[in-house]
Chain A
Amino acid sequence: MPVLVSHPDEVKIISKRFGQGAADIDKYIELDGYKAVQKCIEQGPEWIIAEMKASGLRGRGGAGFPTGMKWSFIPKESAKPKYILVNGDESEPGTCKDHVIFLHDPHSVIEGTTIAGLATGAKMGFIYLRGEYRYLLKIVEKAVADAYAKGFLGKNIFGKEGVDFEIITQTGAGAYEVGEESALMESLEGKRGVPRIKPPFPAIVGLYGGPTVINNAETIASVPAIINYGGEAYAKVGSERNGGTRLFGISGMVEKPGIYELPMGYNLKKAIYEVAGGIKGGRALKAVVPGGSSCPVLLPDEIDVGLDFDQMAKAGTMLGSGGIVVLDETVSIVEFALRTIKFYQHESCGWCIPCREGTDWLKKTLTRFYDGGGNKKDIANIQYLAENMMGRTFCPLGDAAAMPTLGFIKKFRHEFEAYLEGHRTEKHFITTDELIGAGH
Chain B
Amino acid sequence: MAAITNSIFKPETAARFDHLASIYPMKRSALIPMLLYAQDEIGYVSDAVVAEIAERLDLLELDVRNVLSYYSMLRTKPAGKYNVQVCTNISCMITGGYDILDHCKKKLGIGHKGVTPDGLFSLEEVECIGACCWAPAMQVNYDFHENLTTVKVDQILEDYAAGRGKDVK
Seen from chain A, the residues whose Cβ lies within 8 Å of a Cβ on chain B are: 1-3, 81, 90-96, 98-99, 124, 130-135, 138, 168, 170-176, 187-193, 208, 249-253, 257-259, 289, 293, 323, 325, 327-328, 331, 335-336, 339-340, 343, 346-347, 349, 429-430, 434, 440
Q: For the complex, what is the distance from the CA of A264 to the CA of B169, rounded to whole Å? A: 38
Range of interface residues on chain B? 35 or more
Taking A94-B91, A131-B36, A430-B98 as contacts, is the C-beta distance between A190 and B67 under 8 angstroms? yes
With contacts A251-B95, A340-B90 known, what are 4 further pairs, Cβ within 8 A?
Answer: A130-B130, A168-B23, A190-B67, A434-B125
**From A1, A81, A173, residue with most partner B Cβ within 10 Å:** A173
In the bound complex, residues from chain B placing their C-beta under 8 Å from that of A257 are 133-135
Residue of A nearest to B168 (CB): A135
A279 CB to nearest chain B CB (Å): 12
Residues B74 and A174 in contact, CB atoms below 8 Å apart:
yes
B83 CB to nearest chain A CB (Å): 12
Pick the contact of A289 from B23, B90, B111 — CB < 8 Å? B90
Q: Is B149 an interface residue (CB 8 A)?
A: no
A412 CB to nearest chain B CB (Å): 15
Seen from chain B, the residues whose Cβ lies within 8 Å of a Cβ on chain A are: 23-26, 28-33, 35-36, 57, 66-67, 70-74, 88-91, 93-95, 98, 111-112, 125, 127-135, 139, 142-144, 146-147, 168-169
Pick the contact of A208 from B26, B33, B89 — CB < 8 Å? B26
In the bound complex, residues from chain A placing their C-beta under 8 Å from that of B24 are 168
Q: For the complex, what is the distance from the CA of A250 to the CA of B134, rounded to whole Å? A: 10
In the bound complex, residues from chain A placing their C-beta under 8 Å from that of B90 are 93-94, 252, 289, 293, 325, 336, 339-340
Residue of B nearest to A327 (CB): B94
Taking A131-B73, A193-B70 as contacts, is the C-beta distance between A253 and B32 under 8 angstroms? no
Residues A99 and B26 in contact, CB atoms below 8 Å apart:
no
Residues B66 and A253 in contact, CB atoms below 8 Å apart:
no
Residues B130 and A133 in contact, CB atoms below 8 Å apart:
yes
In the bound complex, residues from chain B placing their C-beta under 8 Å from that of A323 are 91, 132
A258 CB to nearest chain B CB (Å): 5
Q: For the complex, what is the distance from the CA of A335 to the CA of B98, rounded to whole Å? A: 12
Q: For the complex, what is the distance from the CA of A91 to the CA of B67, rounded to whole Å? A: 19
Taking A99-B131, A134-B169 as contacts, is the C-beta distance between A173 and B73 under 8 angstroms? yes
Residues B95 and A208 in contact, CB atoms below 8 Å apart:
no
**From B74, B89, B143, B168, residue with most partner A Cβ within 10 Å:** B89
Residues A339 and B88 in contact, CB atoms below 8 Å apart:
yes
**From B28, B35, B93, B112, residue with most partner A Cβ within 10 Å:** B93
Chain A-chain B contacts (Cβ-Cβ < 8 Å), number: 160
Taking A191-B67, A192-B66 as contacts, is the C-beta distance between A249 and B133 under 8 angstroms? yes
Pick the contact of A336 from B30, B35, B94, B95 — CB < 8 Å? B94
Residue of A nearest to B30 (CB): A190
Residues A95 and B89 in contact, CB atoms below 8 Å apart:
no
Residues A190 and B89 in contact, CB atoms below 8 Å apart:
no
B68 CB to nearest chain A CB (Å): 9
Q: For the complex, what is the distance from the CA of A81 to the CA of B26, rounded to whole Å? A: 12
Residues A188 and B128 in contact, CB atoms below 8 Å apart:
no
A-B contact pairs, 5 of them (CB 8 A): A93-B132, A135-B168, A170-B29, A174-B71, A257-B134
In the bound complex, residues from chain B placing their C-beta under 8 Å from that of A189 are 26, 28-29
Residues A171 and B132 in contact, CB atoms below 8 Å apart:
no
Pick the contact of B28 from A190, A253, A289, A347 — CB < 8 Å? A190
Residues B26 and A135 in contact, CB atoms below 8 Å apart:
no
Residues B127 and A343 in contact, CB atoms below 8 Å apart:
yes
Residues B67 and A347 in contact, CB atoms below 8 Å apart:
no
Residues B127 and A131 in contact, CB atoms below 8 Å apart:
no
A173 CB to nearest chain B CB (Å): 4
Residues A339 and B91 in contact, CB atoms below 8 Å apart:
no
Q: For the complex, what is the distance from the CA of A313 to the CA of B50, rounded to whole Å? A: 47
Taking A94-B90, A174-B74, A175-B71 as contacts, is the C-beta distance between A99 and B130 under 8 angstroms? yes
A233 CB to nearest chain B CB (Å): 29
Closest 5 CB pairs of A and B: A174-B73, A190-B31, A190-B28, A173-B71, A174-B72
In the bound complex, residues from chain A placing their C-beta under 8 Å from that of B168 are 134-135, 138
B31 CB to nearest chain A CB (Å): 4
Taking A193-B70, A434-B112 as contacts, is the C-beta distance between A173 and B35 under 8 angstroms? yes
In the bound complex, residues from chain A placing their C-beta under 8 Å from that of B131 are 2, 96, 99
Residues A135 and B144 in contact, CB atoms below 8 Å apart:
yes
Residues A173 and B32 in contact, CB atoms below 8 Å apart:
yes
Q: For the complex, what is the distance from the CA of A191 to the CA of B125, rounded to whole Å? A: 25
